[in-house]
């Protein structure tokens, strides 16, 4: 009996390969991704609007009533870095990296 490759199997395999290849590329490049991003300048207009600070221990709690001790970029939902990294990307600041110890007014608890 001959093994035939059906059109359905060929299309299915092509779609699967088309989704897996970019995923493997992302996994391989994730370590250098944060290094390729420009560090966010606290004087950037978007950073000023969101009350961004490089060091969460310097947040003025009186001016930011939603701030609670322990809130940092590295435990925020918006943070794209990995555990243990000093800097990582942020959903809010596309193309920029933020310090793990930073904070802004849009901080959301990581699930």
pLDDT the model gives residue 12: 75
Could you list the beta-strand ranges (E) of 33-99.
Answer: 38-39, 87-89, 96-99
pLDDT the model gives residue 85: 92
Beta pairing partners, 3: none
Residue 90 lies in a domain: yes
Contact 88, 54 (CB under 8 A): no
Residue 14 lies in a domain: no
Contact 75, 104 (CB under 8 A): no
Residue 41 lies in a domain: yes
pLDDT the model gives residue 14: 66
Q: Chunked in runs of 10, what are the mean pLDDT values of the chain (111 residues)?
A: 73 68 55 74 94 95 93 95 92 94 95 85
Residue 43 lies in a domain: yes
Residue 4 lies in a domain: no
- Tell how strand 38-39 and strand 96-99 pair up: parallel
Q: Which domain holds residue 90?
A: 32-99
pLDDT the model gives residue 31: 47
Residue 109 lies in a domain: no
Model pTM? 0.68
What's the CATH number where 47 sits? 4.10.490.10
Count of domains in the chain? 1
pLDDT the model gives residue 27: 52
Residue 16 lies in a domain: no
Residue 55 lies in a domain: yes
């Amino acid at each position: 009996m001959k093994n035939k490759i059906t059109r359905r199997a060929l299309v299915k395999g092509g779609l699967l390969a088309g989704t897996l290849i970019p995923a493997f590329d992302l996994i391989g490049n994730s370590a250098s991704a944060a290094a390729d991003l420009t560090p966010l300048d606290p004087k950037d207009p978007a950073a000023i609007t969101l009350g961004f600070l490089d060091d969460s221990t310097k947040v003025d709690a009186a001016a930011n009533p939603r701030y609670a001790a322990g809130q940092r970029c590295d435990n925020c939902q918006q943070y794209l870095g990995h555990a243990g990294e000093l800097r990582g990307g942020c959903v809010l600041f596309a193309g920029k990296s933020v310090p793990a110890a930073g904070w802004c007014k849009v901080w959301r608890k990581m699930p």
